[in-house]
Amino acid sequence: MTWKQVDLHGSLSISRVVGEYMIEDHPRVPSTSYRIKVFERRDDFLALPNLRFRAPDGTVDGTCGLGSTEVEALQDAVKRVSELLASRPRWQEGDLDWIDPRDF
């Protein structure tokens, strides 16, 4: 039996963490870096960054990466974060919303 075959007894889904990556981006992320966790799900991989972006109206926009492999999902997440970072000439600390560090 593999982890994908575990009886979830009514739970909806199962995934496992297969990688965690530190992305150094000091020029665009104010005074820090960010992390991406990659999860293997039953049929694909999900890469979840630990930061989200606050729009001028205060709403928060998060992004993630998807792929058929761990590396594809990681690459997709890095691309999407980079696109959001490029959407403004400069980000301030208050423009970013960090996912609880205990989750990372």
- The per-residue pLDDT for 43 is 93
Q: Indicate the Cα dihedral angle 42, 15, 68, 74, nearest 10°.
A: 170
- Which residue blocks in the chain are alpha helix, DSSP H? 70-86
- pLDDT tens over the chain, length 104 residues: 898 889 999 999 999 999 999 998 877 777 678 899 999 999 999 999 998 888 888 888 889 999 999 999 999 999 999 998 888 888 888 888 888 666 65
pTM: 0.85
